[in-house]
Amino acid sequence: MFKLKSSIVFSALLLILLGGCFDPPDDFVAPTWDTKINIPVTSQNFSLMELIEKDSTIFRASDDPKNMGLIYVGDTQKVSTVTVAEQLKISGFHASTTQKIGALKITAPPPVTAAITMSNLGISSASGQTAPFPEFSQTIDIPIEGVATVQSAKMESGNLKLSITNSLPVEIQLKGINLVNTNDNSVVAQRLAPDVVTISPLEEETVNFDLTNKTITNSLKYIGEIYSPGSGTTFVEIPSNDVITLNAAFENLVISEVTAQLPTQKFNFNKTFALTDSTKITEASIISGRAEITINNNMDIELNASIVFENLVNSTGESYKLDIHVERNEQNKVISLDDLPAWKVVSKTSEPTDSLKYSVSVFSDSTGQASTITKDDEIGFAISFSDLTFKSFTGLLKPLKIKLNKEGFGIDYGHIMDNLEIGEVVFKDCKFKINFNSTAKVPVFVSGNLYATNGITSNTMHINEIDISESGPNYIDVTELINGFSNELPDSFAIEGEAKINPNYEIVSVSGNDSIYGDVEFEIPLNIGIPQGTFKDTFNIDIGNINEEKIDNFNYGEINIEIENRLPIGVTVTATIIDSLNRPILDLPTDYNEIDCLEIPKPEVNLEGEVISSSKLTQSLVVKGEDIKKFLKNPNMIVNIAFSTAGNNGAPVKFKTSNNIIMKVRANAEYKVDLQ
């Protein structure tokens, strides 16, 4: 807040009319006989230039060729510097995802083999003999190794290729094939009669089975009836003990659930965060912010996760990488990323990005312990970033709003307003000069409100998107803000609002240290219209060292006034002499004068409010007898001034340094001399 230390300009102009009316000689010597004396009191030229010379810090003169010499009241108020700082940021963002392990991998099982011997078939013939081979029918129940690498596995899909080799010299028929789990006899593969598999002597047949939704353990058994019509009466050579061989090959297994000592499982996925709805980054260095990752492992295996934020890089361009170990079935494992201020968000392409990309690679830990997992088992990641504030930013910046706090300043009119009544004043061409600057090399628009008040009435004026990035100051016509006050002029002003950085949504470079600074300069030109104003005050008139005896000898006084007025106002003046108790004792002009006031006429002004010809006044004021003694013995005077500007109907007029008033005053007096 700052104060203007001068009285309001109107009173200064009007009091010029009072300041030089009487200029008595330093040593007044009365005549020594009755006589009339004629005394030149004063002859002065009062110019408004004196206002500028007396207080050039408040009253100023325009050097604009269009308004050369126009006087205005002005001062400058600095505004608080505002930095971009905390405003150069993006709001926090959050994303969560779950990733299923998907199809499970186990070590590919090798083919397994089981042999059916002559004794299994119930035949006792010795091998190597030549004899007719008997007819037989025998139900076989023999063990066969399952998938040795698992305790059990449920198949999402897969195939079992069962090859049967007949080493007998006779045809065999498989009337029912059943491959079941040893532990519960649940069926793995089955082919029932009358679907018979016939195998010629010394031949091999292959049967395929679909394993979809089948559960296979590491221990199976083959159950089925084998029939042969024998060789009849034909002699054949009886083979060795292993006469039928079963070979089981598990192929293309896709496992949905498994209990096993699992080999390392690996799965990868990529995700993208949307940073904001509109800001896009080419490069932005983080000055504050953090992130937090929460992991939920819904698997019965230990996991190692490697997370890479692709476009979050350090000063050497390396992507942010985080390696995490998670125990089996561990929940709510939290990892804090507190070192983000050492990193920056960049675009990996030629175009600005509005996303943060990350990839996750998950490896299961092969511990040698049996675990049960399914293809639907999952690991969950929740990643939360706080607000990220940037030290510097290059990219497509969303228009950034910075609050400009309310800045106030006032005008101190002193005691003059206690004595001045002006009705409504009409100002013209009042201006605020906004000298705002920004260190950011981007467009900056300022919007807000201007306020004016006199403590009773308040006015508000909106300003909209002033471009302070343009060279030179911005002028705002605030005439509508200043006008509209009655009796008391506004003495307090304020400005507040917001600055919008990059309002056109362009690719820019901005630093957190960039600031908006400057000042507001107000210019209230004395281009004003006052339809009716009054001023009333009490003055003391110093008449010099005249003793009371000499005062009693004055019996007549006359003041002759000649005025040439080039001030754009008209004035009427009356006065009242008061005694030491402030009681009125004499009105001036007195009632025996031809006038009831001293009236200085208005000069002629043009449509622009400029004086084009002066007005003139020649007037005599008479004081007689006891009235002159009242005047001289009571130097306190109440002066009443009524004034109005010279424009038609109160239209504004211009007060310029070239405006002046020339005043010539002569005094005539009669003085009574005691001849003794």
Please tell me the predicted confidence (pLDDT) of residue 525.
83
Tokens in use for 663?
């005043």
Helix then strand then coil, in percent of the chain rounded to 5, is 10, 55, 35
Give the amino acid at 285: S
Write down the pLDDT at residue 588: 83
Quick one: pLDDT at residue 246? Answer: 92
Give the mean pLDDT of 535-550. 67
Q: What is the mean pLDDT of residues 616-622?
A: 87
- 3-class SS letters over 381-434: EEEEECCEEEEEEEEECCCEEEEEEEEEEECCCCCHHHHEECCECEECCCEEEE
Judged against a pLDDT cut of 50, whether residue 641 lies above it is answered with yes
Give the separation between CA 311 and CA 358, rounded to whole angstroms: 8
| Lowest mean pLDDT across 251-260, 383-392, 471-480 | 471-480
Q: In the numeric block, which tokens belong to residue 304? A: 């190692």
* H-helix or E-strand spanning residue 16: helix 9-19
Write out pLDDT tens, residues 483-524.
877 667 788 888 888 888 888 888 888 888 888 888 887 778
Least reliable range by pLDDT among 144-153, 384-393, 443-452: 144-153
Greater model confidence, 59 or 219: 219
pLDDT at 22 over 60: no
- 3-class DSSP assignment, residue 538: strand
Q: What is the DSSP string of 227-269?
A: EE---TT-EEE---SEEEEEEEEEEEEEEEEEEEE----EEEE
Q: Which residue has the higher pLDDT, 139 or 2?
A: 139
Decide if 164 contacts 199 (C-beta within 8 A).
yes
pLDDT number for residue 367: 61
CA 212 – CA 188 distance, rounded (Å): 10
Q: Grade residue 245 by pLDDT with cuts at 50, 70 and 90.
A: very high
Task: List CB contacts of 663: < 8 A, sequence separation 6 or more.
Answer: 17, 20, 21, 42, 43, 44, 45, 46, 561, 562, 563
Is the Cβ–Cβ distance between 526 and 70 less than 8 Å? yes
Which tokens is 313 given?
A: 């890089």
pLDDT band with cut points at 50, 70 and 90 for residue 268: confident
CA gyration radius, the chain: 56
pLDDT cut 90: percent of the chain above it: 21
Whether 187 and 223 have beta carbons less than 8 Å apart is answered as no
Q: Higher confidence at residue 142 or residue 67?
A: 142
Report the range out of 25-34, 90-99, 337-346, 527-536 with the highest average pLDDT.
337-346
Give the tens place of pLDDT for each residue, 71-112.
877 777 788 888 887 788 888 888 888 888 777 766 667 888
The region that residue 497 occupies, defined by phi over 0 for left and psi between -120 and 50 for alpha, beta otherwise, is left
pLDDT, tens only, 144-188: 887 777 888 898 888 999 999 999 999 999 998 999 999 999 999
Query: Which helix (H) or strand (E) segment is 475 a member of?
Result: strand 474-477
* Cβ atoms within 10 Å of 321's Cβ, excluding its own: 12
| 201-210, 325-334, 460-469, 549-558: least confident range | 549-558
* Residue 67 · residue 496 · CB < 8 Å: no
pLDDT score for 226: 93
Contact 122, 227 (CB under 8 A): no
Beta strands in 301-369 (DSSP E): 303-313, 319-326, 333-337, 344-346, 355-364
pLDDT confidence band for 54 (50 / 70 / 90):
low
Q: Which CATH number fits domain 73-87+397-525: 3.40.50, 1.20.120, 2.60.120, 1.20.58?
A: 2.60.120
| DSSP H or E stretch at residue 672 | none
Instruction: Specify whether domain 92-104+262-386 bears CATH 2.60.120.
Output: yes
Q: What is the pLDDT of residue 178?
A: 93
Given a cut of 90, whether residue 276 has pLDDT beyond it is no
Give the span between the Cα atoms of 88 and 86, in whole angstroms.
6
Residue 449 contacts residue 466 (beta carbons within 8 Å): no
> Could you report the per-residue pLDDT of 398-431, keeping only the tens digit for each?
888 888 888 887 776 655 566 667 767 788 888 8
The answer to whether 359 and 295 are in contact (CB under 8 A) is no
**Diameter over CA atoms, the chain:** 201
pLDDT in tens, 568-603: 988 898 888 888 888 998 888 888 888 888 888 989
User: Cα–Cα distance between 92 and 384 in angstroms, integer?
Assistant: 7
Residue 418: its pLDDT value, please?
64
Residue 561 tokens read as 């006034």
Report CA-CA distances (Å) from 564 to 16, 133, 619. 13, 159, 12
Query: Can you read off the two tokens belonging to residue 468?
Result: 């302070």
Least reliable range by pLDDT among 179-188, 267-276, 538-547: 538-547
Mean pLDDT calculated for residue range 47-63 = 72
User: Above pLDDT 70, what percent of the chain?
Assistant: 86
Which two tokens mark 559? 């003041």
pLDDT digits (tens, 9 = 90+) for 208-225: 999 999 999 888 999 999
Residue 239 is encoded by which pair of tokens? 């083979």
Q: Mapping DSSP to helix (H, G, I), strand (E, B) and coil, where does residue 588 land? A: strand
Average pLDDT, the chain: 81
Give the least confident one: 12-16, 25-29, 59-63, 185-189.
12-16
* Three-state SS at 341: helix
